[in-house]
Amino acid sequence: MASRKTLLDFFRKWGAIALLLLLMLLSLISAGLLVLVSIFLGEVTSALAAEERDRFSQSVIVFIAIIVLGVPLLSLKTYVQAKLSLYWRRWLTDRFLHHYLERDRFYQIGLMGQSIIPISAFLKMFVLSPSNRYFLR
């Protein structure tokens, strides 16, 4: 069972890293597509102003092709971003709960100056404290 958990952790970690790399690639591609959209919208406008029918039709076709290519890529980018966010939340929650519940630390909360600290306040202290670099390794 321990090797199965380790294998699952391995795939989660590398799956999240792969999603992060994919997100960066999709961000670069979407930035390039937005630049192309801007260029070809200018081309459409210039062709209309110059009253050049062939140039206009060619630029509209290229513009539509960019839009047809860009919409699925931008949708995929949004999906990957949401999926990566879920991975991050799951990892942070698992990590926090593991460190919170190990060695009965939840009984030691009273030593922090207050008798009872809600778990949400403890989580906020955990996430915002710069001394928790140990937990984020």
Q: How many residues does the chain have?
A: 137
Amino acid at 56: F
Query: pTM of the full predicted structure?
Result: 0.61
pLDDT at 137: 47
pLDDT at 89: 83
Q: Which residues lie below 8 Å from residue 106, measured CB to CB, with a gap of 6+? A: 100
pLDDT digits (tens, 9 = 90+) for 14-64: 878 888 899 999 999 999 998 998 988 888 889 889 988 999 899 889 889
Closest CA to 76 of 26, 32, 14: 26
pLDDT digits (tens, 9 = 90+) for 78-121: 999 988 888 888 888 887 777 777 766 655 555 555 555 566 66
